[in-house]
Chains A and B, each alone.
Chain A
């Protein structure tokens, strides 16, 4: 929690220091060496301090001077002052109290008394501030509520009159403004702020009697007949009667004032108005002013039957008595303040909107503190928890949370199930369990990393082996430590997750397998075998290797005669024979339609091995005579590339085909010459396009 700040004002450094030392545990202190410095500090940031300890006798400006400055700046109301002095003269003490000092502490200081008084005074003022806020809010809310009711009521009337909602507001603002002008001008009426407030509010009700006037008359665009006018005039008395009928409310100032306004806002100062023909100041001032406001707004507003009259002209017309007879004092107020009225009326509209915003804001702030708000907070928390649980269940991650205060680690339900442990574990009591699961070594490393985190770098990551049941799984663990707001910050706990890497590893493995194998026979495919062969040569360059490639003779015929399904069977049969005739570490691949490759390791001579494999590939599959043409090549130099080897083996294969198929040949340089005689294009036909031919 933030410490309250106390300002110590004393000209003796030692005295300030003694006081500061007494308070240092619970408060922040600042010091001023005389009254002038203190006032300067208060001017900059009076609201930061919770209390002032003030000496009396000081150079520049003494303690009384500081108190006087605090009074003239209104700081004294919210900032308590405790005088510290050796003064024992009661006149001095009296003077300090009269200037608003809260308390007195006599020198010499007693540590516990200073401490206790300071704490008490700070608490008292904090409580007082809180209470003032609460009362302010409640009064404001009540006022808002009645305002709202009045607004609704007057709106109903206006709505029926077909007037814009602004009329009431204008009348109200005008009334308020003129009442204040009047108050300044003369002491005759002596209206208090709250009386002005009541009259302004009541002014909104001046036309409620119109509610019972026939709509045809109310909204008649043309001039009213005498009879209609007589009906219309009844609205002032009707309004008054309505208010009179409010049982038990006759003494309520708002009702009383509204009654006056309703009944008499069409009276004239010269006694020629209605309904009672009151004259001069027999007409209550509230009604006089509303009458003027009503006329002014009627003139300056647009109506169905007229255009708005400019402000200056309207004022002139009223002043010249063209729109009725008014109290000369009011006319004076109007003409003297003519230039301010328009902006006052409009500003009030703006102020209203602002007040609404202010109110919303106040509500939000208030609600974040009181019960109404905590309900909302709980709801939000609930929502967040629901969201968290949902996502936690979706992600297949082991999520967990550690709370240092209780030494408890909590796993997400999925996480606990996955790891086969309880959702809640007290760490110190379950060390064995965690050691078994994660390994003691690793846990030690983890706690080291944990302690190395800082509020700036709270995250760390690591991989670990987890023993679940009999299996070992790989997990990546990500942890973020949570820090307190204290100074210095302390670890409050941590959150984290464990991501199962085993599954993603296997998945990647499976996909890689798929990409490198022939789906029909399960042998390597062309790129798979090439990768394997190159890596084998690279890793074990000293061994002797050979490559054999072969085609199935007349495979095209098998496909054509017996169909593709039979063709597939032949390919599967051939691959199983290949696997039979080779060793596990030989690399066997189907590299094209009916073209196969075998990569062999050998010790002395390749020829017998090739011969054996070749012979095992001959046979009969149903009516199809299976035999192959094969070419092989020995790797003579470790620098030979796969491409070179493959090319040579392919040449030998071609040689076998040229020599009448159903045979094998091992590459030698002389084959190149034979092949030179042949049709070059045939030799160089890429394997890929041969494939297409054959399938």
Chain B
């Protein structure tokens, strides 16, 4: 599996990211790092504990990373979640979270397969 295929699988735009970061090695490095980031866990915990503000920051950070990496699908869903949290609508956020969670695991799974393929 090459990185382009990985991007297709996770619903991202490879051409966009390579256009901005200009370096495939860099893109690869950051993509592989993405699953290690703790913000998704933070988001989940904050929502469970109903800490809107913390949840907002975590969602915001996830959105930012996704934008930087052109993970368009996750960026879109986490962006919507961020705005809902910003307005303080915890109920609405909990409804949106399911979609974000799906996109997140889809992204992490695709990266996991890509990682396996380059390690072979």
Contacts and interface: CB of A to CB of B under 8 A. Distances in A.
Contacts of B56: 57
Given A58-B57, A108-B68, A108-B70, A14 B20 contact: no
B65 interface: yes
Contacts of B22: 111-112
A141 interface: no
B64 A15 contact: yes
B67 interface: yes
Contacts of B84: none
B21 A14 contact: no
Given A14-B34, A14-B37, A18-B30, A108 B57 contact: no
B26 to A, nearest CB: 6
B116 interface: no
Given A57-B60, A108-B70, A13 B37 contact: yes
Interface string A1-26: 00000000001111101100110000
B68 A107 contact: yes
A110 B61 contact: no
B63 interface: yes
Contacts of A112: 22
A22 B23 CA distance: 10
Nearest to B34: A14
Nearest to B37: A14
A15 B57 contact: no
Given A14-B68, A86-B64, A108-B20, A21 B39 contact: no
B33 interface: yes
Contacts of A17: 30, 33
Contacts of A86: 60, 63-64, 67
Interface in A77-117: 85-86, 107-112
Task: Give the one of B34, B39, B54 with max A CB within 10 A.
Answer: B39
A59 B20 contact: no
Nearest to A110: B20
Contacts of B30: 14, 17-18
Which has the most chain A C-beta neighbours within 10 Å: B21, B39, B67, B69?
B21
Contacts of B19: 110
Range class of the B interface residue count: 20 to 34
B33 A14 contact: yes
Interface of chain B: mostly helix, strand, loop or mixed: helix
A273 to B, nearest CB: 72
Contacts of B33: 13-14, 17
A107 B67 CA distance: 6
A107 B20 contact: no
Given A14-B30, A14-B37, A17-B30, A107 B64 contact: yes
B57 A14 contact: no
A18 B37 contact: no
Contacts of B54: 59
Given A13-B37, A14-B30, A14-B33, A109 B61 contact: no
Interface in B4-53: 16-17, 19-23, 26, 29-30, 33-34, 37, 39
B37 A108 contact: no
A301 B57 CA distance: 70
Nearest to B38: A13
Contacts of A110: 19-20
Nearest to B60: A57
B60 A21 contact: no
Interface in A625-653: none
Contacts of A11: 57, 61
Contact of A57 (B20, B57, B65): B57
Contacts of A85: 64
B37 A111 contact: no
Contact of A59 (B26, B57, B63, B70): B57
A549 to B, nearest CB: 95
A12 to B, nearest CB: 5
Contact of A14 (B23, B60, B65): B65
A85 to B, nearest CB: 8
A21 B22 CA distance: 11
A18 B30 CA distance: 8
A107 B54 CA distance: 21
Nearest to B67: A108
A111 B20 contact: yes
Contacts of A111: 20-23
Contact of B61 (A12, A18, A21): A12
A12 B21 CA distance: 17
A58 to B, nearest CB: 7
Contacts of B61: 11-12, 15, 57
Contacts of B63: 86
> Most chain-B Cβ atoms within 10 A of its Cβ — which of A13, A57, A107, A111?
A57
Nearest to A57: B60
Contact of A18 (B16, B57, B60, B68): B68
Contacts of B34: 14
A23 to B, nearest CB: 12
Interface string B67-109: 1111000000000000000000000000000000000000000
A274 B24 CA distance: 89
A12 B118 CA distance: 26
A59 B53 CA distance: 9
A209 B20 CA distance: 76
Contacts of B21: 18, 22, 109, 111
A109 B64 CA distance: 10
Contacts of B23: 111
A554 B67 CA distance: 123
Contacts of B16: 108
B4 to A, nearest CB: 18
20 contacts: A11-B61, A12-B39, A12-B61, A12-B65, A14-B30, A14-B37, A18-B21, A18-B68, A22-B21, A57-B57, A57-B60, A57-B61, A58-B57, A86-B64, A108-B17, A108-B68, A108-B69, A109-B21, A109-B68, A110-B19
**Which 5 A-B residue pairings sit nearest by Cβ, starting from the closest?**
A108-B67, A110-B20, A57-B60, A107-B67, A108-B68
Interface of B: 16-17, 19-23, 26, 29-30, 33-34, 37, 39, 54, 56-57, 60-61, 63-65, 67-70
Given A22-B21, A57-B57, A109-B20, 15 more contacts: A12-B39, A12-B64, A13-B37, A14-B33, A14-B37, A18-B21, A18-B68, A21-B26, A58-B57, A86-B60, A108-B17, A108-B67, A110-B19, A110-B20, A112-B22
